[in-house]
């Protein structure tokens, strides 16, 4: 299976800060990379698909980039509702989709 | 408005089975694949497999072969995931999610709507 390594595993930031989260795949996944936001008790939310395409309804402060094995999720100006856990997911392999270990964004 | 509405929390015993349902609302059920993903405490999400509601085809992650069964009832737009021979490490939140495409190296696949999750507790 393709291993997805996220970093950092957690971070503390303030409202208005720029935040970046990275995700590294164990091999080339050709931009088959999605980002999700999870909050306790709520349905997970798709933020970015195909590495850089913003899902409809997601604020433009979220952006994704990368290629090959290395990908990044950026939040340009952190808002109170953005404190959550973020996961990357690769969908390049047909029968073995995998997620990263997660990055929890906490209030500083 | 698209919604995936999951069944309520379950408490089960080791060795038993659990069946979780996922009712699709607000879209044509047979137009989208339904995936199942679980998340154990303190761990990242884990993909379990998908079902194609149109054909009934299924694909399961290797780890769950022989223990998981994914089915659907198109008359009530509902997908099901049954996991058998439960162990303590199967305790998790189980989610359903939909995608337009099946995972493949030729078409992007992403989960655009998810259910809120079903907590499964395994305890003797």
Of A30, A42, A46, the CB nearest to B112: A46
Q: Degrees (nearest 5) of the Cα angle A1, B51, B37?
A: 50
Q: How far apart are CA A45 and CA A50, in angstroms?
A: 15
Residues of chain B contacting residue A94, judged by C-beta atoms under 8 Å apart: 59, 102-105
Residues of chain B contacting residue A88, judged by C-beta atoms under 8 Å apart: none
Tokens of A101: 């270990």
Q: What is the mean pLDDT of residues B38-57?
A: 96
CB atoms within 10 A of CB A101: 18
Which phi and psi (to 5°) does residue A13 adopt? -150, 165
Q: What is the mean pLDDT of residues B64-72?
A: 97
CB atoms within 10 A of CB B112: 16
Tokens of B21: 């349902």
Q: What is the mean pLDDT of residues B48-66?
A: 96
Record: contact A43-B116, CB cut-off 8 A: yes
pLDDT level of residue A108 (50, 70, 90 thresholds): confident
The residue of chain B with its CA nearest to that of A56 is B112
Q: What is the mean pLDDT of residues B44-51?
A: 97
Q: How far apart are CA A23 and CA B4, in angstroms?
A: 28
pLDDT confidence of residue A42: 95
Is A46 at the interface with chain B, CB within 8 A? yes
pLDDT confidence of residue A94: 83
Q: How far apart are CA A34 and CA A81, in angstroms?
A: 20
């Amino acid at each position: 299976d393709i291993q997805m390594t996220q970093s950092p595993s957690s971070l503390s930031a303030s409202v208005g800060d720029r935040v970046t989260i990275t995700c590294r795949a164990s091999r080339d996944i050709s931009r088959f990379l999605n980002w999700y936001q999870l909050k306790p008790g709520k349905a997970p939310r798709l933020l970015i698909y195909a590495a850089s395409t913003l899902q409809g309804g997601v604020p433009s402060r979220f952006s994704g980039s990368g290629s090959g094995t290395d990908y990044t999720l950026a939040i340009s100006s952190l808002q109170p509702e953005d404190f959550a856990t973020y996961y990357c997911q690769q969908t390049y392999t047909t029968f073995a989709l995998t997620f990263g270990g997660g990055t929890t964004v906490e209030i500083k | 408005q698209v919604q995936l509405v999951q069944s309520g929390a379950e408490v089960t015993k080791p060795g038993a089975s659990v069946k979780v349902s996922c009712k699709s609302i607000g879209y044509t059920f047979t137009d989208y694949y339904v995936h199942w993903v679980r998340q154990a405490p303190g761990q990242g999400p884990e993909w379990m497999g998908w079902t194609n509601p149109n054909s009934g085809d299924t694909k399961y992650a290797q780890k769950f072969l022989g223990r998981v069964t994914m089915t659907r009832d198109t008359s009530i737009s509902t997908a099901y995931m049954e996991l058998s021979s439960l162990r303590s490490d199967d305790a998790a939140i189980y989610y359903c999610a939909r995608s337009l495409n099946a995972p493949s190296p030729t078409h992007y696949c992403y989960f655009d709507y998810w259910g809120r999750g079903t907590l499964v507790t395994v305890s003797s």
